[in-house]
Structure 1
C-alpha cells in the first residue's frame, strides 16, 4: 500500500474502513487500525492517516522495541511528542487502547453463571421485573451456562407483547450463544402463564430442537414475583432440549 496517498485517493478495496467492514478488524494491519482512529486528516507533513499510523509505529519501535507493547502503556503526553500527533489524535488513540484493555479484562471465568431460575431472574430483573409494558427478552449463554449477554427482543403494551421464534434465534446465533433462557414480564404481577405463553414456548422449544440450540427455561416476571415454566409444566418433557 502506498502510504503517501490520502485515504480518499485509494481504491475502495484498499481503504481501511472498507477493508474492515468487508474482512473484519483482525485482517487489518496495526497502521490501518490507527488510521481508522485518526480519520482522513493529515499529519507529519503530507502523510495520509495510514502513513501517519505507520510513522507512529516506527517511532514507537525505536530501540528495537515492540511498537504495540509500547502503545499499550504510553501516555497521551508521550504520544504528543511524536510529530503530527496533537491532543485530539493522542487522546483518541489512548481511549481506544484503554477500551481494548477493559474489554479483555472480562475473562470467561469472570462471567456470571446462570445455574438456576433465581440466578436468571437476578440478571433479568432490571429490564423486566418492574416495567409497565410487556417486554420479551433472552439471556444468552455459553456451553457452561455463563452469561454472554441479555437482549430485549420486543416491547409491547401494558397487556401484550409479540415475540417471534425467528427473532429470538436470530439473536442467539448472532451473539454466538449455544443456549438461552427466554423471559417476559406481566406488568399486572400475575406470573401464571397464559395459553399464548404455553403455545409460544412450545414453538420456541421446537425451534431449539431443530437448530440444536437448547432453551433452558422460560421465565415470567412481574412486581417482585416470577415463575419458571420449566418447573410448572411438562413442555420440556415433550420437547427435550438436550441441555
Structure 2
C-alpha cells in the first residue's frame, strides 16, 4: 500500500493541527499525529508533514510488520535510517511515544487506589503491556486497596515464564502488603488464560487463604488490552478471599 497518494487532496482547513483543534486528537490518523510532531516535512522527496508521516509508517511497515507495533519499541538509530528523519525528528517521535506510555501508566507512590481491573492494568502497563518476553508481576496493596508498589517477580522467554507461589508471597510479606493483585503478559496478544495460568491462580488463591492475604485478581496483559481472570472464571467463588 502506498501512503503518499492523497496528500495533495488535503485542503487548508483540514490540515492536522486544524483538525485536532476542531475535532480532537482521536479523529486524526496516525500519520497526521506524526505530522504534528514533525512540523514541515523535509527529505523523502520533499513531502509535506503528513506525507512524511505516512512515509515513516510505510517504512516501518515493511516485511508485513504492523507499523504501530514497531513504533512502540523503535530506536533513534532505526528512525534515522528513514530518509528525511534526522536527530531532531527522531527525538521528537521518541519523546512522544515515551510520554504516551507514561500517561497510560499510573505511577506507584501516589497512593493510587486500585479499585478496578482497568486501573490495575494501567498501573502495570509500563512493566508488562508491550514487553517481548513474558513477565510476571505483583501489585502490592494496603488494607484500603491503595498502591504500595509494584514488583516484577520473574522474566521468562517469549512464550513462557515461571512464577513460583513462594516467590510471590515472599515479596508480598517482605513489602508489608496486606492484599495483592498478580499479573503477567502474553507477548502474542492472545489474552486467553492457559491451563497453566488457571492452575497457578488456583494455587495462589489457596496460599492467600492460608496466609490471610487476599488475592484480588490475576490479570493478563498484551497488545494494549487486558483480561481479568476474576471476571471470566469461577476461581474466586471456589476460593473466597474475604476481601
Query: How far apart are 1:238 and its partner, in Å?
Result: 0.4
Taking the aligned partners of 2:141 and 2:175, their CA distance within structure 1 comes to 9
Matched, 1:196 2:229: no
SS at match of 2:237: helix
Taking the aligned partners of 2:118 and 2:144, their CA distance within structure 1 comes to 17
Taking the aligned partners of 1:117 and 1:107, their CA distance within structure 2 comes to 19
Taking the aligned partners of 1:229 and 1:146, their CA distance within structure 2 comes to 21
1:45-124 equivalences under 5 Å are 111-124=111-124
1:176 corresponds to which residue?
Answer: 176
**Per-residue displacement from partner, 1:18-39 (whole Å, max 9, x unpaired)?**
xxxxxxxxxxxxxxxxxxxxxx
2:22 corresponds to which residue?
Answer: none
1:216 corresponds to which residue?
Answer: 216
1:156 corresponds to which residue?
Answer: 156
Query: How far apart are 1:225 and its partner, in Å?
Result: 1.1
Q: Which runs of 5+ in 2 are unaligned?
A: 1-107
Stretches (4+) displaced over 4 A: none
Query: How far apart are 1:107 and its partner, in Å?
Result: 8.6
SS at match of 1:125: helix
Taking the aligned partners of 1:121 and 1:228, their CA distance within structure 2 comes to 9
Is the Cα–Cα contact under 8 Å of residues 109 and 149 in structure 2 kept in the other structure? no
Taking the aligned partners of 1:212 and 1:240, their CA distance within structure 2 comes to 11
1:131 corresponds to which residue?
Answer: 131
Taking the aligned partners of 1:112 and 1:174, their CA distance within structure 2 comes to 20
**Per-residue displacement from partner, 1:138-162 (whole Å, max 9, x unpaired)?**
0000000000000000000000000
CA distance 1:198–1:107, shift in 2 (3 Å): closer
1:165 corresponds to which residue?
Answer: 165
Normalised by the size of structure 2, how large is the TM-score?
0.55
Taking the aligned partners of 1:118 and 1:177, their CA distance within structure 2 comes to 21
CA distance 1:242–1:137, shift in 2 (3 Å): same
Whose Rg is larger? 1
Taking the aligned partners of 1:192 and 1:150, their CA distance within structure 2 comes to 23
1:98 corresponds to which residue?
Answer: none
